[in-house]
Amino acid sequence: MGERSVSSSFVLGVLIAAGLIGMSFFISEAVLKVKSMERSVAVKGLAQKNVKADTAIFPIRFQNVAPTMDALGQNLKIDLAKIMEFLHALGFDNTEITIAPPQFNDRLSQNYNNYNPKVRFSADSLITVYSKKVDTVVKLQRELYLLTEQGVFARNDQYETRYIFTGLNKIKPQMIEVATKNARAAASKFAKDSHSKLGKIKHASQGYFSINDRDPSTPYIKKVRVVTNVSYYLDD
């Protein structure tokens, strides 16, 4: 009975040991596979495109002064008519032009120093051109000074003028495709240099689109930019 018990225990121990050895082999092989799968490279892909703005917002400011409110009102009407005629001649219609209520000021009531009764009353006026005729707005910006020949001193603040590109959704797919191709090219070069093969995509994110002026001199030309982040598995 004792010898059989020892023999059975020995055989059972050998089987358990063999099982553990076999299990450890499969576990180690699985770990190696997992580690192999974890080999990856993360790269960035850039795409840039210059586009033309398709919408423009152009504010025009002018001021009138007069000794009386009646005279001020007349001067304001005359200048407004000249500006509107100027804009119509360039090709803008009334749907593209917004006239804001003028801001009136009585200098006497505000105790101006060196008060001149000839310019007691003043009116600050604003006309805004909102148009998709970007080229015409650029021309307006160049030729606004011509109103001085008609006695109208209109001005435009460069920092208030806005040129906008609204067609981002149309070019998004193409730009993402280009950025992804550039990312893959960078990853392929890395894989080649490391004597590996480029595998499937592990993770990818589209990135953020930015739209900025190409340069200060041509704010109506925009630079659209996107960077994609992509990681690939590396195979032996």
Q: Same domain for 111 and 190?
A: no
Which ranges in 39-117 belong to alpha helices (H)? 69-90
Q: Same domain for 214 and 143?
A: no
For the chain (length 236 residues), average pLDDT per consecutive 10? 52 48 41 55 94 97 96 97 98 97 88 75 96 97 96 90 96 94 92 89 89 95 96 88
Give a three-class secondary structure readout of 49-64.
Answer: EEEECCEEEEEEEEEE
Q: Give the model's pLDDT for residue 112.
A: 60
CA distance readout (Å), 22 to 9, 18, 30, 32, 215: 20, 6, 12, 15, 68
Burial of 179 (0-12, 13-18, 19+ CB in 10 A): buried
CA 85 to CA 149: how far, in whole Å? 14
Q: Same domain for 61 and 90?
A: yes
Q: Same domain for 60 and 49?
A: no
Nearest Cα neighbor of 140 from 76, 81, 57 is: 57
pLDDT for 98-145, tens place per residue? Answer: 999 999 999 888 766 667 788 899 999 999 999 999 999 999 999 999
Element (H, E) at 162: strand 162-164
The tokens for 53 are 């703005």
Number of domains forming the structure of the chain: 3
The tokens for 30 are 């699985």
Q: Give the model's pLDDT for residue 159.
A: 82
| Of 115, 135, 164, the domain-final residue | 164
Q: Give the model's pLDDT for residue 26.
A: 40
Question: Can you give the CATH number for the domain in which 136 is found?
Answer: 3.30.70.2970
Q: Same domain for 20 and 79?
A: no
| Of 112, 141, 164, the domain-final residue | 164
Q: Give the model's pLDDT for residue 15.
A: 47
Q: Same domain for 115 and 174?
A: no
CA 179 to CA 169: how far, in whole Å? 16
CA 168 to CA 51: how far, in whole Å? 10
Q: Same domain for 142 and 83?
A: yes
Question: Can you give the CATH number for the domain in which 230 is found?
Answer: 3.30.110.170
Q: Same domain for 160 and 181?
A: no
Q: Give the model's pLDDT for residue 108.
A: 81
Give, in degrees to the nearest 5, the angle at Cα 160 between 213 and 139. Answer: 75
The tokens for 136 are 């015409």
Domain that holds residue 181: 40-54+165-236
Contact 188, 41 (CB under 8 A): no
Q: Same domain for 155 and 198?
A: no
Contact 31, 216 (CB under 8 A): no
Q: Same domain for 3 and 78?
A: no
Q: Same domain for 179 and 226?
A: yes
Q: Same domain for 144 and 61?
A: yes
